Structure 1
């Protein structure tokens, strides 16, 4: 499998402004955005690897669990994240930074909410064939 990330030395990351976009699976204007730091995924060929930042604005919550066909490692860098809330944003298990999760393909996870907002570092990748 070809490497999907380029060599990049330390460089500044703009935490506001350009480069933030709506992540797949989230609703527009919902208060969640992503910034791809490196790499990409090719779901059609089930190949690739990417590293991204994902941030939730304060009070944001999702209503449905997520599932995908790639590995996901998540590090909660800042703030709070609740996992397993209901469709009204109630309940679930709350976590604060620093915390970490590693999920294999096919694992349902979420929904998620953040009372005060949060910043996550995520690494997604397919197992080499």
Structure 2
């Protein structure tokens, strides 16, 4: 029998994150394919997003297999911060590989909602840490 998830810690306010102490974020469990993306997986480390109420925050790892690609620009209604931990991502398409811009490990992006970004692909694969959140109400 599984235990119910603990309630969010009140110190996180509207983000509704649960207090967790150090754990192995790289273990092989809990990786899920990202819908609509071939070769891209995510592992939620904390939090959740609710697109209906436009509330919440997520910290997740993104793992791109070598050759994974998103061949079209994307946009979403939450804020996003992305840091490339290892490997590299390329800004561009596989069809126009020679013109693609390489984004090496250590590269960071921060975006408000509705910013169009991509397409992307990764020749060697990469690991990202991402922070996704809805902006607080003014």
TM-score (norm 2): 0.83
What SS class does the counterpart of residue 67 from structure 2 fall into?
coil
User: CA offsets per residue over residues 2-47 of structure 1, 9 Å max, x none?
Assistant: 332011111112442x201122442xxx111000000000001110
**In the alignment, what sits opposite 1:103?**
111
TM-score (norm 1): 0.89
Q: Aligned to 1:21, which of 7, 13, 32?
A: 32
> Over aligned residues, Cα RMSD in angstroms?
1.5
**In the alignment, what sits opposite 2:15?**
3
1:87: Cα distance to partner?
A: 6.0
Q: How many residues align?
A: 124
Structure 2, gaps ≥5 residues long: 1-12
CA distance in 2, matches of 1:5, 1:111: 30
Could you list the structure 1 runs, at least 4 aligned residues long, displaced by more than 6 angstroms after superposition.
none
Larger-Rg structure: 2
CA distance in 2, matches of 1:79, 1:109: 19
Structure 1, gaps ≥5 residues long: none
